[in-house]
Amino acid sequence: MSDAMHTLLTATPLLDLHHPDIESLVARRGWRTLSPYDRIGAVYDFVRDEIAFGYNEGDELPASRVLADGIGQCNTKSTLLMALLRAVGIPCRFHGFTIDKPLQKGAITGLAYWLAPQRIIHSWVEVSLDGSWIALEGFILDAPYLASLQRRFPQARRFCGYGAATPDLSAPGVEWRGQDTYIQKEGIADDFGIFDSPDAFYARHGSNLSGLKRWLYERVIRHAMNRNVARVRASKW
């Protein structure tokens, strides 16, 4: 294995793959015994559906904290997915972007939507499998949340809102089949390129909020956002 590929298996402060909770999870699930293809699929499905779509205190959280929270959005779920993939021996890298604010409308409402920047930091994970790089973004929305959107908007094809931006809401192709998966790609505004880790990305580009806005978000607003997401998941429109 090249030095460059070895780097894509190492731990960082955010990718704390040697944390006891992460090591325990990997051991309990038996993921290391699977083929590389099935390792990716098992970890992907865990992050997509067992870590519900929701809003953490911030983007720059270690993977173990995201696991403990049990919820995540694109950036925090990306961190956890990368840590778990590296823990089972799958090289992976971070691809940073911004998305346009309207993509979040519906999932984010009221004051929270007003406070959000027009372009929001976004990311997906790229994994190395059989000599190719595969982009994984479809893990952001858990299956119950996505199913609720599909019931609410049964005629939708091209769709933007509620945390999704896809050319076909009825069949967005978020399942792991050894190919790219996307759920917010259609809302991408800026492409910041590829980074070895989320740590490297945030060191260069920062995160979504700072100052008073961040304080309000952490202590008040995100809790209202998560209650709204829970209502959407439960189809309480």
pLDDT (average), residues 178-193: 97
Q: H or E segment at 167?
A: none
CA–CA separation, 31 vs 19, rounded Å? 16
Interval 49-67: pLDDT, tens: 999 999 999 999 999 999 9
Does 86 score more than 80 pLDDT? yes
**Percentage of the chain with pLDDT > 90?**
83
pTM listed for this prediction: 0.96
One-letter identity of residue 218:
E
CB-CB contact of 161 with 180 (8 Å)? no
DSSP annotation of 138 reads: T
CA–CA separation, 17 vs 140, rounded Å? 20
**Residue length, the chain?**
237
Q: What is the pLDDT of residue 212?
A: 64
CA–CA separation, 176 vs 95, rounded Å? 18
Q: Where are the domains of the chain?
A: 3-233
Q: How confident is the model at residue 209 (pLDDT cuts 50, 70, 90)?
A: low
pLDDT (average), residues 17-38: 98
| Domain 3-233 in this protein, CATH class | alpha beta
Interval 135-184: pLDDT, tens: 999 999 999 999 999 999 998 889 999 999 999 999 999 999 999 999 99
Does 210 score more than 80 pLDDT? no
